[in-house]
Structure 1
Amino acid sequence: MVAPTVDFSIAGSSGSGNSEPIVVSNQIQININAQDAEGIAKVEAFIDNEKVGEDTTAPYQITIDVSGYASKGVTSKLTDYVLRIDATDTSGNTSSTDQLINIVNETPLITINFPGQNINPELIEFYIFASTMDGELLSIAKVEPTDTSITLSTTAEISDEEEYMLTFAEKFAAFYGETNELATIQNIKRSSLQEINLKTNPRFPSNFFDRAFPEEFPIEGFWDENTTDFIALEANGFDYSSGGNACSCSPTTPENSIIISRYDDYGNLYVNQNVYLQVKNTDQLITSYALLNKDVLVDNFSITPDLFSDEGITLENLEYPNIDLALSNHPILSIYLYENESDYSNNIFHINNPLANTEASGAKINYWLNNNFYAYRTELQYLKYRIEHTGKPNQSYNGRDWSVSHTFENGTFMVDKNTANEDFVGRIALSDFFSRRSGGQATVLNGRDGTYRWNIVFDSQNNSAIKLPVIPVELEEWVFNDTYNNLSFASPEDYDQRQVELIRYVNMDSFEEYLQKIIKDNEKWYLISPVKESVYDNPSFWNQNYVYPNHFLIN
């Protein structure tokens, strides 16, 4: 009797029947060539003498799941496994051939689920990549417009409790070159965050101001020639702005106009159905408002006093201790106005800039409050302390004696804080956005101008050294990469921004809880926590200004 002949190959690999191990992972397909004059009864597959598959019908093919095999032994070297194929003919004769294999399984890190695509026409490339906490690349995936889900996996050994970081990187077209926007989430564990579910929210072009649509409306009838009062009119909201006191009426400018810039949500001008206008008589300390439907703001529409009302507006005050009235920086109060539950849930707001004056005694701040809206959110900022909360302003605020400072060297931020460890979310903002807007030097790469913005969040309770991830080769031609390679992010001597912020959320106690409640479902913080307090360090030219997060994940 003659035994059958048998050989095999592993799909996607090269070589067989030799002593050099073949590296395989997850699931392997064995293609077997077995021949015998009497016919083949079966072929079988074994790993280290344990049967793992069988086929009885030509062409012979066995698929083996190797995801449960350990890659390394106690010596941390790859384990050699013996893959053996037996072929048995119809007379019971058997032949065998084997191959050394190393099993290196990919470990799933995280899945990112995308909603129904709201395509950004300016988006050129979109990558998501994972890195170790030392910054070394673990995995990267390019996101295509048709993708509904991306899973990042790695062949590196990483336990359920080992931390890593995740970066979202987007490159947009801009008329002056390109814009790069990145968001990095650090201190993620596989045990605490298995997926992120993104949402479709209104999103504006990356070159926000360049895609504004300014419209000019005449102002008529506000100024009385018998008075020297100064009248200021402004409009600010989620998707429109008059640029602050962009229009005024006074003895020197008795008639004027207001320019309202609308921002394009890719063809959907005015996500807000209405525009909120506020008029202030800064001499008499009175104010009134108008809520105009977007459909009336057409060519030749005039802004006149009869459109405005002071019904429901009250003069209120709040106390903030230890205000130094000698400083030019008084507390900054902003009240966000929401017309209905849908707008509140989606953060579609109007902004009321309500300060009337600051009293020298008792550090009281007077402000105008419009009581006609469905819901409110308040922001109060003084020096480098900031509190945001749901609802109308409180009657008093105590502030915090927190402090934070930082240095940046060799790609690592060193954070020094005095917060009694009440904070647990840290945020780093890097940008040359205002440099580009304020006449500073734009980022340049290969002759192209551009801007970049990068937000990094981290566990501030347990980390004081925050390292930037290594940039993958797929991003090496992006415009911000020259700044990254030179480690010259937002140098304090120019207009650029570099801000480190430490944050406390009420109703949450840890960064892990923040990942679960805010990041996992891409949730708006104020729908989870009624109060958000922070202290920040910004050594740039704009050192009294707060740098808002820009990315859809870190809002």
Structure 2
Amino acid sequence: MKKIISINRFVLMGITLTALLSCSSDSSDTTPEPDTVAPTLDFTISGTSSGSEPIVVSNQMEININAQDAKGISKVEAFIDDVKVGEDNTAPFTIVVDLSGYAAKSLTAKSQNYILRVDATDTSGNIASKEQMITVINETPLITINIPEDFYNPNWARMYVFASAPDGKLVDSKRIFQDSREVILRTSSDQIFTQEYSLTFAKYTSGTYGNTTQFSTLQNLNSSNLVTLNLKTEPRFENGPRNPYLFPMEGFDPDDVFNSTAYGFGYSGGLNTLNQQLVLDRRKNVTNQVNTDKIYLWLKNETLDEYTYTILDWDLPIDFTLDYSLFNQEDIERRFYQTSLGSGQYTSSINIYGYFNESDFENNVFHNINNSAYGFLPSQGGAYYFNTSIYKTRYEFTMKDYHTARNGKPLTIFNDLDWTIDFSVNSKEINLMKTGNGHSVGKIYLHTDGPQLVNGLNISYDWNIVFDSQTTEKIILPEIPDEIQTWGFYDLYQNNNFKIGQVEIRRYNDLPTYKDYLQEIIKNNNYPYTVSSTMESKYKRGDGLEGYYFKVSDFLID
């Protein structure tokens, strides 16, 4: 056994020595061949299809680079039009490029688009390059619209909001869904204009025999006067067939002539003296907890020229009877107004609304206190009745081509404004002719004069437009997005079937500019009277009538 071990050790020592001598004889001092082979290189851009020419990118571009070399990669770099925009030296190689500062070049420009170049450098300094043409289409936010949870009316079939350039061309359009909480309208960088844009809300309601479209348009918007719009929920009252409650009357002199009104937040009605009944239609606001628990019923005895009123509980018992003794004249004053709007041949009217507390005032939970109208203003002035016990009041007065809405007690004299307003219509352009200083807000009301028969359906629409009355001479109606062109009114739009209901110019106290109006009233969807105590306007109706002002409810504008 020991002999075998000794022989094996000798053999191993011989093998080792032979190997060492062999290695020594094969070695040389020659220099290795230099590395002149460039790396292999390819890249893709996240979110795009490879091989397309050019590749369309926007805002931010992520470049994923596959670079390989036997000696290793030192770095990869990205260039746009030969300007370095990024570098990475650790695999896997990714370069993210901020494109927000790049404007989209016109497709008709001589130097169309941009050239993206990626270089890969190996550890020996060899460089491989690859180019790709890219089109940058950056989207810049125009406006962010915040929407409360209960905003969407289930009666709407569709609702959209869209932005338009001054020439009416569509910039962006978004649909508002029931669960929409934020909508952002954007413009691509080659659409960015230093001038202004318009914003339009479109609501569509369909029925068995026809449909209705309502538009609300804000003109003259820009990045300095409105970038955020916070909508509020419109009051929506209980649906269902009108089934007014009827209550008997007693104690009324059958020989007297009465005029009565019960009209307020969620209710309407009055006396039916022929049937000796009080008629009330009451509907609760279903969108939130804002409601009224009172009904203000005023009564004018025309025979005795006497104004009385009563305040009833909302939840009247079924066996309630309206007795004449419930009416009183406490805190009622008979007042008069005069005007400087010409002699008394012009129709004038005044409507007074009351609020029982501050919450009611802020939420427009109103009650009609009195309304009076005169076809011929008496020499002593127009008479009306005012309840001094009401917490707060506001009123609206109209005469000739003058209209005002104010908080507090009515003026004793209403003075005319030194303004004029006129218009002409050419296809989808409305030209405005204005004179006078001090107005800042203009408003146009378009509508169908009764339903129009289109393809067997009754079609109607309302369109309210507000604009900067100091700077605007012409309004071009915006183009209609494709999604809205299926609505019935589009045939009327295409055929220029527009009826001007009314054009007016306004001023609000403490809001001297259109920007102030947008910031203080429109931005947070406020009731105008809660921001400005006085609004005055001069208006012209499309039918030429004077003394009859179109008051149109609009969730965004009024």
TM-aligned CA distance change 1:464 to 1:100, over 3 Å: same
In 1, Cα distance between equivalents of 2:92 and 2:508: 62
Q: Could you say which residue in structure 2 is the equivalent of 1:366? A: 383
User: Secondary structure, in 3 states, of the residue corresponding to 1:343?
Assistant: helix
Amino acid at match of 2:247: P
In 1, Cα distance between equivalents of 2:94 and 2:377: 86
Equivalent residue for 1:215, pick from 220, 231, 244:
244
Q: How does 1:465-476 map to 2 (within 5 A)?
A: 465-476=474-485
TM-score w.r.t. the length of structure 2 is 0.85
TM-aligned CA distance change 1:232 to 1:107, over 3 Å: same
Q: Could you say which residue in structure 2 is the equivalent of 1:241? A: 268
**Shift, 1:186, TM fit:** 0.6
Q: Could you say which residue in structure 2 is the equivalent of 1:438? A: none
Equivalent residue for 2:305, pick from 279, 282, 285:
285
Q: Could you say which residue in structure 1 is the equivalent of 2:67? A: 34
Equivalent residue for 2:501, pick from 498, 502, 510:
498
**Shift, 1:382, TM fit:** 0.9
**Shift, 1:141, TM fit:** 1.4
**Shift, 1:551, TM fit:** 2.1
In 1, Cα distance between equivalents of 2:482 and 2:377: 58
**Shift, 1:68, TM fit:** 0.9
Q: Could you say which residue in structure 1 is the equivalent of 2:178? A: 145
- Contact 2:341 2:399 (8 Å CA) reproduced: no
Equivalent residue for 2:520, pick from 517, 522, 526:
517
User: Secondary structure, in 3 states, of the residue corresponding to 1:416?
Assistant: strand
TM-aligned CA distance change 1:81 to 1:502, over 3 Å: same
**Shift, 1:64, TM fit:** 1.5
TM-aligned CA distance change 1:551 to 1:117, over 3 Å: same
TM-aligned CA distance change 1:137 to 1:371, over 3 Å: same
User: Secondary structure, in 3 states, of the residue corresponding to 1:135?
Assistant: coil
Mind listing any 5+ residue stretches in structure 2 that lack a counterpart? 1-34
Q: Deviations over 1:340-367 (max 9, x none)?
A: 1111111111112243989976341121
Q: Deviations over 1:76-132 (max 9, x none)?
A: 666543312223446654322111223232222111122233331112222111111
User: Secondary structure, in 3 states, of the residue corresponding to 1:515?
Assistant: helix
Q: Could you say which residue in structure 2 is the equivalent of 1:460? A: 469
- Contact 2:104 2:189 (8 Å CA) reproduced: no
Q: Deviations over 1:412-463 (max 9, x none)?
A: 1122234x1322211111123x62xxxxxx2344433343111001111122
Q: Could you say which residue in structure 2 is the equivalent of 1:439? A: none
- Contact 1:71 1:78 (8 Å CA) reproduced: no
Q: Could you say which residue in structure 2 is the equivalent of 1:317? A: 336
In 2, Cα distance between equivalents of 1:189 and 1:522: 18
TM-aligned CA distance change 1:267 to 1:219, over 3 Å: farther
In 2, Cα distance between equivalents of 1:317 and 1:461: 35
Amino acid at match of 2:38: A
Q: Could you say which residue in structure 2 is the equivalent of 1:187? A: 220
Q: How does 1:271-310 map to 2 (within 5 A)?
A: 271-296=291-316, 299-310=318-329
Mind listing any 5+ residue stretches in structure 1 that lack a counterpart? 436-441, 491-496
Does 2:402 match 1:389?
Answer: no
Does 2:14 match 1:11?
Answer: no
Q: Could you say which residue in structure 2 is the equivalent of 1:533? A: 536
- Contact 2:398 2:548 (8 Å CA) reproduced: no
**Shift, 1:33, TM fit:** 2.9
How many percent of aligned residue pairs carry the same amino acid? Answer: 39
- Contact 1:112 1:151 (8 Å CA) reproduced: yes
Equivalent residue for 1:425, pick from 434, 441, 461:
441
TM-score w.r.t. the length of structure 1 is 0.86
Q: How does 1:56-205 map to 2 (within 5 A)?
A: 59-72=92-105, 80-89=113-122, 93-157=126-190, 161-174=194-207, 176-203=209-236
Q: Could you say which residue in structure 2 is the equivalent of 1:479? A: 488
Superposed CA RMSD? 2.9
- Contact 1:27 1:66 (8 Å CA) reproduced: yes
Q: Could you say which residue in structure 1 is the equivalent of 2:11? A: none
TM-aligned CA distance change 1:154 to 1:488, over 3 Å: same
TM-aligned CA distance change 1:212 to 1:277, over 3 Å: farther
**Shift, 1:247, TM fit:** 3.1
**Shift, 1:146, TM fit:** 2.1
